[in-house]
Amino acid sequence: MLNLFRSFIARRNDEDGASAVEYGLLVAGIAALIVAMVFMFGNVIKSSFSKTCGAMSSKGASSTATC
């Protein structure tokens, strides 16, 4: 019974390294995707926020906000 428990623990420790590498690759892929999306859509989002800020500041009576 003790040998069975030891073999289970030993097998589990061997798999931890592989899963850590897989999680690392997954995180790196997600980060690369986020960076790519920011570079592709950054100017579109910036102009959209600028238009919204301009519309809000032109409609308000006392605009102290800066865009």
pTM: 0.49
pLDDT along the chain (67 residues), means of 10: 68 64 92 94 89 83 56
Pick from 62, 40, 63, 39: which is nearest to 53 by CA? 63
What is the per-residue pLDDT for 10? Answer: 65
Backbone angles phi, psi at 64, to 5 degrees: -110, -5
Both structure tokens of 67: 């865009």
Please state, in angstroms and rounded to a whole number, the distance separating the CA atoms of residues 31 and 12: 28
What is the per-residue pLDDT for 9? Answer: 65
Determine the Cα angle at 57 with ends 63 and 44, to 5°: 140
